[in-house]
Amino acid sequence: MFGIIINCNGDYMNDIKYYSITALNRAIKNMFDSKPELNRVYIKGEISNFKHHSRGHFYFTLKDENSRIAAVMFASYAKDIKFEPEDGMKVLVSGRVTVYEATGGYQIYVDEMALDGIGNLYLEYEKLKKKLQEEGLFNLEHKKPIPRFPKKIGIITAPTGAAIRDILSTIKRRYPLCETILFPALVQGVGAKESIVKQITLAQEFDLDVIICGRGGGSIEDLWAFNEEIVARAIYNSKIPIISAVGHEIDFTIADFVADLRAPTPTGAAEMAVPNIVDLRTLIEQYKIRLNENIKSIISFNQKRIDNIKNAYVIRNPMALYEVKEQKLDTFIERINSYIKQILNDYYLRLSHVKESYILKNPLASYEVHRERINSIRNNLNIIIQNKLNVFNHQYEIIINKLNLLNPLNVLSKGYSLVTDSNGKIIKEAKDLKKDDLISIKMYEGSVKAIVKESE
């Protein structure tokens, strides 16, 4: 596309050639592609914004502490990867850098990718994070509240370095009333995790309101002490609320998830731990203004009430109140007298009715009525008793007859006898006896003793 530009004086300028966007992006792409040093590059970085496309391609961003670059790994290369890439993994990649013509953005086309040593640390980090999360160490119900106005703050960090300076200067600037106690600890390297746990345990013996535990920024290896399980459990078991302040805002450690509050930086932790005295003074001034206004409002309201009372009709005419009460008293007395008269009349009428009653005039009439009822009841009772006796006599005779039928004496009365041996055993057969046995013979009336002479 060509155009003619006219300057302010009306003169014609030379013809200028304008590129289309596509042509410009293609030219820049050709510049990238023509550079041999960009056709094979090796990069170490951290994966973020990872997306596994349904067609098998990987789209992600590689970043370090200061920069980032878009990356693509097509399915033909991605199928050879022995692990599943995730956000946060540290990887080593190789590929070529070029420009994606449609957007004009440059990116790296990755053909090889392997876990960096730091990537293995990330896997350990995720494994421990999952374990502690399942145990409930990250749950909100276990988080202790941070006091709004702490009197004494414990700081667990390295005794030298920017972190302790930033924390102390921030607390001194924002809330100089607060006392701080440093619990010096190793925050990286061999023995760091044991040192942090020791200082957390020691801090429990002091009368602290809150603890700040952390360090400045660094690599994942530098921050690893705060990803150790014993440190996480020490923070969880602390009776004093702990603010975690590890690294920069983008850094997350296990300690951040277990702590009662996570700060993006050590300075941020100090700001969260104490209020700003300037804000407090402003707030106090606002409270003073509001309090004065409320006091003035109350005084004004009560003053109006006093004025109303002073101007009240009763105050200006005190006898008027007495007159009203006197009239009410008269009314009450009249109502009471009327009520008493009504009650007396009611009782008089009831007494008159009683005096005129038939019973008082004929007292024997009631006696005769009750005597007749008693006689009637007595006669009915005698009849019922007699009927019952007849029934019982009949039942008695039936039972006697049954007993007589079963009475063994009735059998004996017919001439039969009952024979028993010397032991009282009833003899039913002759073979049960032998010569000279002593027997007893029971008859209908009386019994005899006998000796067996012969049995057949």
Beta strands at 210-215 and 242-246: parallel, antiparallel or unpaired: parallel
Q: What is the pLDDT of residue 231?
A: 95
- The CA–CA distances, whole Å, from 251 to 88, 135, 195, 353 equal 10, 23, 21, 105
> H helices within 356-421, ranges in order?
358-361, 363-406, 408-412
Give me the pLDDT at residue 135, please: 93
Residue type at position 373: R
Considering the domain architecture, whether residues 194 and 110 belong to the same structural domain is answered as no
Is 347 a domain residue? no
Residues 153 and 267 in one domain: yes
Q: What is the CATH number of the domain that holds 243?
A: 3.40.50.261
Q: Which residues of the chain have pLDDT under 50?
A: 1-10, 12
Q: Is residue 294 part of a domain?
A: no
Q: φ, ψ for residue 278 (rounded to 5)?
A: -65, -45
Neighbouring C-beta atoms of residue 25, cutoff 10 Å: 18
Residue listed under structure tokens 């921030």: 170
Specify if 121 maps to a domain.
no
Q: Which two tokens stand for residue 349?
A: 């009428």
Distance CA 246, CA 254 (A): 10
CA angle 278, 280, 286 (to 5 degrees): 110
Tokens of 290: 């509001």
As a whole number of angstroms, the distance between CA 158 and CA 226 comes to 13
pLDDT value at residue 419: 87
Same domain, 96 and 39: yes
Share of the chain above pLDDT 90, in %: 44
Buried/exposed code over 49-71 (b: 16+ C-beta within 10 A; e: otherwise): ebeeeeeeebebbbeeeeeeeeb
Same-domain check for residues 158 and 270: yes
Nearest CA to 175 out of 217, 214, 209 is that of 209
Residue 430 is assigned to a structural domain of this protein: yes
Residue 148 and residue 213 share a domain: yes
pLDDT given at position 126: 82
Per the structure block, which two tokens stand in for 352?
Answer: 């008159």
Is residue 262 located within the same domain as residue 178?
yes
Q: Are residues 147 and 224 in the same domain?
A: yes
Task: Write down which residue in 115, 146, 166 finishes a domain.
Answer: 115
| Residue 219 Cα distances to 48, 114, 166, angstroms | 16, 19, 20
Within a domain: residue 440? yes
| Res 95: pLDDT | 92
* Co-location of 149 and 260 in the same domain: yes
Beta-sheet pairing, 438-442 with 447-451: antiparallel
Q: Domain end: 242, 258, 275, which one?
A: 275
Domain C-terminal end among 275, 301, 324: 275
Q: What burial letters (b/e) apply to 315-333, b meaning 16+ CB within 10 Å?
A: eeeeeeeeeeeeeeeeeee
How many other C-beta atoms are found inside a 10 Å radius of the C-beta of residue 447?
11
Residues 71 and 188 in one domain: no
| 377 inside domain | no
Residue pair 228/246 in contact by the 8 Å Cβ criterion:
no
- Per the domain annotation, does 308 fall within a domain? no
Structure letter (DSSP) for residue 12? B
**Under DSSP, is residue 198 helix (H, G, I), strand (E, B) or coil?**
helix
- How high is the pLDDT of residue 380? 92
According to the model, what pLDDT value does residue 415 have? 77
Closest CA to 245 of 153, 349, 139, 369: 153
How many domains would you assign to the chain?
3
- Residues 6 or more apart from 240 whose CB is under 8 A from it? 144, 154, 203, 204, 208, 209, 210, 211
As given in the structure block, the two tokens for residue 84 are 């599943």
With contact defined as beta carbons under 8 Å apart, do 150 and 277 qualify? Answer: no
In this structure, is residue 388 part of a structural domain? Answer: no
Q: What is the DSSP string of 257-292?
A: HHSSEE-SSHHHHHHHHS--HHHHHHHHHHHHHHHH
> In whole angstroms, how far apart are CA 200 and each of 158, 206, 213?
13, 11, 8
Distance CA(175)–CA(268), nearest Å, equals 14
Domain that holds residue 446: 412-451
Give the span between the Cα atoms of 275 and 177, in whole angstroms.
10
